[in-house]
């Protein structure tokens, strides 16, 4: 291959990633311009799961996700432009892998949260739906808390995505 042919191939290949990098972004959101703040009150827990601190952890993770996302500023319930409310409906912990001899080797924790997002400026409910996700843990090697926190992380990320890009 001569030098001109190499340049003809190399230059477009070198420029292509730079051009494509602007085509898609994970940080962009479509929150309406009139919404600047969001209130996230402590979520309710009607699951009956009995694990202490779950509602606080869900609320903490939601708030942290919105802080990191930076599309809406966390505000007070009485003065915010929007409000995100949630209720932990169910938390289940069931066997997911059963080894020979009916020995449970892995368990799956599923968290279901009913959430709603309301535009307080226009007094309009934007969406209301159930979100569910899961985490797994191996009997004896990981704690149930690790799987529960993974399920909470996933379900709160889904709620964030619905809020900032579900328009």
Helix, strand, coil abundance in the chain, percent, nearest 5: 35, 35, 30
28-165, what's its fold?
Answer: Double Stranded RNA Binding Domain (3.30.160)
pLDDT in tens, 3-38: 555 555 554 544 444 444 443 334 445 799 999 999
Contact between 158 and 131 under an 8 Å Cβ cutoff? The reply is: yes
Does this model's pTM top 0.85? My answer is: no
Domain extents in the chain: 28-165
Contact between 133 and 115 under an 8 Å Cβ cutoff? The reply is: no
When comparing pLDDT for 15 and 76, which is higher?
Answer: 76
* Overall average pLDDT of the 143-162 stretch: 95
């Amino acid at each position: 291959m001569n030098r001109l042919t190499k340049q003809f191939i190399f230059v477009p290949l070198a420029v292509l990633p730079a051009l494509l990098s602007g085509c898609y972004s994970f940080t962009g959101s479509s929150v309406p311009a009139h919404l600047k703040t969001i209130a996230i009150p402590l979520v309710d827990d009607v699951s009956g799961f009995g694990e202490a601190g779950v509602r606080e952890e869900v609320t903490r993770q939601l708030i942290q996700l919105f802080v990191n996302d930076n599309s809406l500023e966390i505000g007070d319930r009485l003065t915010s432009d929007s409000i995100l409310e949630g209720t932990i409906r169910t938390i289940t912990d069931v066997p997911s892998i059963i080894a020979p001899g009916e020995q449970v080797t892995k368990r799956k924790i599923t968290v279901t949260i009913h959430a709603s997002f309301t535009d307080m400026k226009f007094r309009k409910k934007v969406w209301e739906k159930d979100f569910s996700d899961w985490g797994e843990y191996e009997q004896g090697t990981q704690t149930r808390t690790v799987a529960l926190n993974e399920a909470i992380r996933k379900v709160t990320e889904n709620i964030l995505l619905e809020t900032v890009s579900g328009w």
